[in-house]
Amino acid sequence: MNNKIIFIFFLLFISCKTNKQIETPPNLAFLDTHIPNIKIGERIFNQSCITCHLYGTAGATILTDKKSWQQLLNNKKKEEIYLNVFNGFIGKGPMPKKGACTNCSDTDLLDAIEYILFMNDLSINH
């Protein structure tokens, strides 16, 4: 192998490594301790989640459908719900990774989920 090919493999190796770091699911301890910031959640909802969750586009649960959000909390653990948004999820339709909010931090994403629940008098820590 000449040096050029070795260099290309090296670049591939590095880019795979950095990608993996971005993909790593977060340590979920903050689900218990984070105090929701509903204002941040609202801003993110209006930037990202609104595309689907306002009118139920692509099979998404509608923002004001309290019964369905309550059912979600009854049926699934908060860790599962959070990771489904984080990793993307296929239910009645597809939700992209991080609900399409690619630059959202772990707590931004939680705030967006809490905003949806807050609008229905619910919380992930019900």
Residues 31, 53, 63, 86: which binds ligand HEC (CB under 6 A)? 53
Residues 63, 72, 86, 107: which binds ligand HEC (CB under 6 A)? 72
What phi-psi label fits residue 100: left (phi over 0), alpha (psi between -120 and 50 degrees) or beta? left
Residue 25 or 94 with smaller CB distance to ligand HEC: 94
Instruction: In whole angstroms, give the CA distance from residue 14 to residue 62.
Output: 41
Residue 122: how many CB atoms within 10 A of its CB?
16
Our finding on whether 107 is near ligand HEC (CB under 6 A) is no
The nearest distance, CB 83 to ligand HEC, in angstroms, is 8
Our finding on whether 122 is near ligand HEC (CB under 6 A) is no
Half-sphere exposure of 16 (CA within 13 A, CB side): 6
Our finding on whether 63 is near ligand HEC (CB under 6 A) is no
Strands 89-90 and 94-95: antiparallel
Using CA atoms, how far residue 15 sits from 21, 26, 124, in Å, is 10, 20, 35
Our finding on whether 110 is near ligand HEC (CB under 6 A) is no
Residue 15 or 80 with smaller CB distance to ligand HEC: 80
Q: Are 117 and 72 in contact (CB under 8 A)?
A: no
- Count of residues of this chain found to bind ligand HEC when the rule CB under 6 A is applied: 29
For binding to ligand HEC (CB under 6 A), which residues are involved?
44, 48-49, 51-53, 58-61, 72, 76, 81, 84-85, 89, 91-96, 99-101, 109, 112-113, 116
